[in-house]
Amino acid sequence: MRIFNRLVAWIYSLASLYVSVLFILVWLDKEFANQFFRKIEAIQPYKFAFAGGGLLVMGAIWLVSVIEHHYRTRSVSFSGPGGLVRVNLSAIEDFLVNEIRQRIKAVKRIRVSTIIAPKGLQVYNQVIIWAGYDIPTTTGKIQDLVKRLLQDTIGVERLGEIKVLVYRIATTEEETISKEEEDESALEDTEIG
């Protein structure tokens, strides 16, 4: 990965330097500009297309690999007794989802995403809550639990906002309706087969 990154950086640096020098020479010397444009007209257009396409593909591959590397290495760091400790954000998200679903019975489903911000680790929770539970109390419990788990269990010192979005309230009727629909679709599949 490092060799590829350096190679792409060198190629793009050299190409940028070459194009910059050409632009300066075209601007400074009219005779050079005339000769340069005559030479360009003599070259087949497909050669420019291949060179440009190659540079675009190489740049796109590089950009995707850098974004993927950044996403995989998102982590929270802190000093432990033996040195630096890093906890991957995806591990934190999975941990929070499991703990919240086990400890708060009002939560039917939850999705957690974390972002490192200047104020600290920000946590966004999207929740489906069972009907019959008090939403302010439940969301307050979620926020308190997330804060306690992050500070006490994981060791996050700087904690930003903990946001909760209740995007659906599930009723027990929905659960039975969805089970009946699954049963009907299973019956239809067996009748057709």
d(CA 108, CA 192): 34
- Whether 33 and 56 map to the same domain: the answer is yes
The residue among 77, 153, 166, 164 whose CA lies nearest residue 113 is: 164
CA distance 164 to 39: 63
Give residue 110's domain range.
87-176
Q: For residues 129 and 166, is the Cβ–Cβ distance under 8 A?
A: yes
Q: Which pLDDT score, from 0 to 100, does residue 130 have? A: 92
Which pLDDT value is given to residue 71? 67
In three-state form (DSSP H/G/I as H, E/B as E, the rest C), the secondary structure along 73-111 is: CCEEEEEECCEEEEEEHHHHHHHHHHHHHHHCCCEEEEE
Total-model pTM: 0.57
- At residue 182, the pLDDT reads 54
Do 171 and 92 lie in a common domain?
yes
Q: Answer with the one of 18, 44, 72 that is the final residue of a domain.
A: 72
Beta strands in the chain (DSSP E): 75-80, 83-88, 107-117, 120-130, 159-170
In a domain, 114, yes or no: yes
Please state, in angstroms and rounded to a whole number, the distance separating the CA atoms of residues 17 and 134.
64
Co-location of 30 and 94 in the same domain? no
Q: Which residues of the chain have pLDDT under 70?
A: 1, 70-73, 173-193
- Say what the pLDDT of residue 192 is: 43
Residues 98 and 50 in one domain: no
Quick one: 92 and 60 in the same domain?
no
Amino acid at 11: I
Residue 190, pLDDT score: 42
**What's the pLDDT at 103?**
93
pLDDT the model gives residue 33 = 77
Question: Which tokens belong to 104?
Answer: 């708060």
